[in-house]
Amino acid sequence: MALTHTPRSFFRLGLALSGGSLRGAGHLGILQVLEENGIIPDIVAGVSAGALVAALYARGMPVPSMITRATQLALTRLIDWDISLWTVGKFLLLYPLYRLGLRPNPKTLLPAGFIRGNRLESYIHRLLRRYPRRRIPCLLLATDLYHAETAVFGSLPSFPLPREHRYIRLREDEWARAVRASCSLPGVFQPTPFRGRRLVDGAVRNTLPADLLFLAGAQRVIAVDLHLGELEDRRLESFVDIIDRSLTLMFADLAGLRLSPYPALRLAPPVPDIGWTDYHRIPECIDAGRRYALSRLPDIRAYLKGSPPKA
């Protein structure tokens, strides 16, 4: 059914989903437990990997179907590289000469991102096309690099937003592109073109959009933060580990600051720290989300009855 204008505070429960790359499969375990216990959100919001889950869920794709798709993800080819080994080799050869002042800067050899993102958008479009009707309202976030704005995509009429936010009501054929934009990790994916804008991952400005759900009229919000769950002790063995851990701390603190004025219940499932190509470990992430949600059910039920949220 088509969405119509609804009064503020209409939404009893909102669900906000953070990013997390393949670890975003942990959201599916959370959703599975919520549905099994009759806890159904009235509005959802997501960023990055959470945007994909939020869009599919809002469209009405059954959670078991999403889990099946996620566990088969290795069978799909979603990566369309936009750089060759020859280009990388040439850059590495010329860069030292540039540093010595013997050649111009070779950075123009490099694309705006290593992955185009067209295949990902096509895959998302195929999934959304199977569910042509929206079931519940949905908000997705991306970051506009040039206008320094957070692009908030949605199916609602406009609603009050903080400064440096831009609400964009999506047409039916734009949802796949909006999800792609929200997932476009800077430097890895090329910025996504959208209505004259160039958009990247929404987590650059907002890693957990629970605050926007309250602004849209949600009375209660469950916020699933896959970054917060990463803060357990583990060995940091390389500069990659150091950078990853530093970004995790930054994301967790940023989300905490944004949520501090709002009574959201923040869930932090300890989803395994897996790499971008560890498709075979997706079931582990789903199971971790499920087990964590089961352990927090008493807190979730108490929160929905009006108790203050527990960390």
DSSP 8-class letter at 212: H
DSSP 8-class letter at 228: G
Q: How far is the C-alpha of 55 from the C-alpha of 181, rounded, in Å?
A: 13
Q: How far is the C-alpha of 265 from the C-alpha of 163, rounded, in Å?
A: 25
pLDDT in tens, the chain (311 residues): 334 444 455 899 999 999 988 999 999 999 999 999 999 999 999 999 999 999 999 999 999 999 999 998 876 678 888 877 677 777 778 878 778 888 888 888 778 888 999 999 999 999 999 887 778 999 999 999 999 999 999 989 888 898 899 999 999 999 999 999 999 999 889 999 999 999 999 999 999 999 999 999 999 999 999 987 655 556 667 766 676 777 777 777 787 888 889 999 999 999 988 877 888 999 999 999 999 999 999 999 999 999 888 76
Q: How far is the C-alpha of 105 from the C-alpha of 246, rounded, in Å?
A: 29
Sequence-distant (6+) residues with CB within 8 A of 231 are 248, 249, 252
Q: How far is the C-alpha of 136 from the C-alpha of 53, rounded, in Å?
A: 13
Length of the chain: 311
User: CB 292: neighbour CB atoms within 10 A?
Assistant: 20
For residue 302, give Cα distances in angstroms to 9, 10, 262, 306, 307: 20, 20, 17, 7, 5
Q: How far is the C-alpha of 311 from the C-alpha of 259, rounded, in Å?
A: 12
